[in-house]
A and B are shown apart, each in its own frame.
Chain A
Amino acid sequence: MTHYLEISLSPPHPAGMLVPRYDEEVNVLDLGSGIRMPWVYGVDIDGTIIFDLNAERLLVNVEVLIPKKMWRVAPQTTVPYPKRSATLTFSERTIRHKSFSLPITIYTNRQRTSVLILFDDAMNNNNAWWVKLSHRCFAAVQHGRLVGFLAWL
């Protein structure tokens, strides 16, 4: 039984180039590529962060239901220097597990233009690396686990 989001890195794919968009009407943050395709698989963390995957298990959309007003303001914005560009592919085991219960923390800057989403035990690890998903979205990956995202609205 897994307690983390097991992923692998695939070559960059247009469907995996996630771009953030905040819907003010429903107060939901979406990270999506905008390419219309069926989201065949789904994984969620406490029903609060929902990951949508296509038929090839590539991550094509992330829905974050925590409204902007609940994001914690951090004094310093993290500046990522990604090791590489990639698309995230979820493992079959993660898809089978489907629903996870992990601590979630979201940080933003004072202008609320950047958002740092952390889950898993990212608070205690020092070995997470940034992977560039698009020019406005990065994923934090640690030893084959997905532990967070960083995006600019």
Chain B
Amino acid sequence: MKKIRWLCCDESGIETVQWLAWGAVLLILIAVIYGVFNGNARLRAAIRGTTAVLATRFGSDIGARGPNGTAPCLDGPFSVQRCNGASQISFTPVQPIVFDPRTQSYVVFSPIERLVIKPAAGVPTVADPRTGELLLFDTPHQRIIRVNLIEQRVIAIDQITGVATPLPLEALLQHRLIEIQVIDAPAIAPLSLATLGVPRVLPDRLALLAAFVGGAGLLGLARRGVQEGMLASGGAAANVPPWLAALGQVFLGLLIGVGALLALAALIYAGAALLAAVGIGAALSFAAALAVAAVILAVGFVALEFSERVQAFLARRSEPGVGEWLLIAGLSLASLSSVAQSAIARTVAGTARPRLVGGDEPEQDAVAPPDCPPVCAPEEIDISSWPTLAREAAVLGCLLLGCHVDDQRERIVPPSPAERLADSVLGMGVPASVIGKSFQKAGITLTPHALHKLISRGARGVTEEAALRAYRRGRLFYNPHDRSFIRYDPRTGVAVAIDKAVHGKVITVFEGNPSPRWVPVRWRPGQ
């Protein structure tokens, strides 16, 4: 009891409490600083991100736009702009997705920024903390949307069909399925309680306020018994025991020393960050200038603009961005980025019509094709300067000669050797009006659709004679798929689809094997 009275009422006791309070505060500060710089990855990431942001902003003063002001796919780091049919999410998270119960949102951290993804109210959402994947259950549209920021994919899975389709992110935003907020890492690390690793029980501001009020109250309680006008240090010097005064001096020294060390470390860190930013930024600017110069040399028309956006740098780092630059040039290589380079080279060089990709080229030249007739140009013809009337005439001419008019490349493409071979087999010179006469004579209705198929499929044995034979003598089946009847001739393999079992008109003709799904129709007398 005497000790307690000494602590609360005696001046020296109060001074002791005050010193103990200061010591506790100092210890807490040291623990916090140690924890922040050694055990808190999030704060380290924020500081590192700040440096990265400074660096990228320093080097991002050059952007690029297409000939007609078309924005190339350069937006990043988290773009909602469609790039080549899919969203470009140049985003590398440093840790899997976390759920923030205060804001009912999901947060993804990257070295540069953090994304706050808030699903719309009423949209059930599940997050996988291991993969960082978000599953949005879009019930009205009967689909599940998988948002995978790590693999940079947004996929909608139709619950009816099961088909997955890649979605651009803006579609989700337009439908208000999610809201996304991109937050740059602040220049000064956010010293919230959550950042410091303190469990978030109260909101940050309330917790900070409570901590401040508690500390102030403790100090005020300690000072309450000190007489008016008496300095605490004087009182301490006069009344506290020597060991306590020595301890207090140690604490005071620590306080000043640690503070000075922290200030020095901060100065060094800021200096290093600035140096890094300047160095990286200068390198990026140089690289950007080189890249743009290369594109200008290669393409000849890329309008430049100067801005303070970060996007150019980030797009430059990724392959799609480069692809889009080439797309602007009209080379269309971006859309072919996954095609074998040899195929691209052949196509771009214009040495041949696009061929098959991969190692399974058909042995189409095994049979020597017939020579190109005199009217058939062996080389491609550039028709870009031709008037419209001449181009239309070329289309008509190609219909007769077998060549092709490539509108995109504005060239007349000659038929390939394989096509010429097929033409000779097919005998394309046979007038279409001749085909179908046998059906007409037999009083069988051959629809224009079936006639067209008969002409086009002649190369594979679907001749008028075979079709007529199938119609007359073929085995009758019922196709439950399309509720039509089929006459199939096993000798030629030609089938004729008809709308009625008896005296039906011919819908189409084809060749193949009878399907196990076809239902044989029993023969009945009179049919």
Binding site for B on A (CB under 8 A): 8-15, 23, 25-28, 30, 35-42, 44, 46-48, 50, 52, 54-57, 61, 63, 65-67, 70, 74-76, 78-85, 87, 89, 91-92, 98-99, 101, 104-105, 107, 116, 118, 122-130, 132, 140, 147-148
Contact = CB atoms under 8 A, between A and B. Distances in A.
A48 B166 contact: no
12 contacts: A11-B339, A14-B404, A26-B449, A27-B507, A47-B515, A63-B510, A81-B166, A85-B335, A99-B515, A128-B163, A129-B165, A147-B163
Interface stretch (B153-161, B213-221, B241-249, B295-303): B153-161
B481 A104 contact: yes
A46 B516 CA distance: 8
B161 A78 contact: yes
B357 A89 contact: yes
B214 to A, nearest CB: 54
B184 interface: no
Interface residues of B, number: 85
Interface string B8-41: 0000000000000000000000000000000000
Interface stretch (B99-107, B227-235, B370-378, B452-460): B452-460
Contact of B513 (A8, A98, A127): A98
B421 interface: yes
B522 interface: no
Interface string B496-517: 0101000001011011111111
Nearest to A55: B418
B512 A44 contact: yes
Nearest to A9: B357
Contacts of A44: 510, 512
B158 to A, nearest CB: 6
Contacts of A67: 482-483
Given A44-B510, A98-B512, A55 B404 contact: no
A10 B404 contact: no
B164 A129 contact: yes
Interface string B127-166: 0000000000000011100000000000101101111111
Highest count of chain B CB atoms <10 Å: which of A38, A44, A67, A92: A38
B456 A78 contact: no
B339 A82 contact: no
B450 interface: yes
B164 A126 contact: yes
Contact of B163 (A23, A27, A65, A140): A140
Contacts of B142: 75-76
A147 B389 CA distance: 41
Interface of B: 82, 84-86, 141-143, 155, 157-158, 160-168, 171, 335-339, 343-344, 347, 353-358, 360, 362, 364, 399, 402, 404-408, 416, 418-419, 421-423, 425-426, 428, 447-450, 453, 456-460, 462, 479, 481-484, 486, 495, 497, 499, 505, 507-508, 510-518
Nearest to B497: A65
A8 B403 CA distance: 24
Given A8-B357, A12-B354, A81 B165 contact: yes
Contacts of A11: 336, 339, 343-344, 347, 354, 357
A56 B512 contact: no
A67 B479 CA distance: 12
A65 B498 CA distance: 11
Nearest to A91: B360
A20 B111 CA distance: 48
A13 to B, nearest CB: 5
Nearest to A37: B419
A70 B481 CA distance: 9
Contacts of A107: 160-161
A48 B163 CA distance: 22
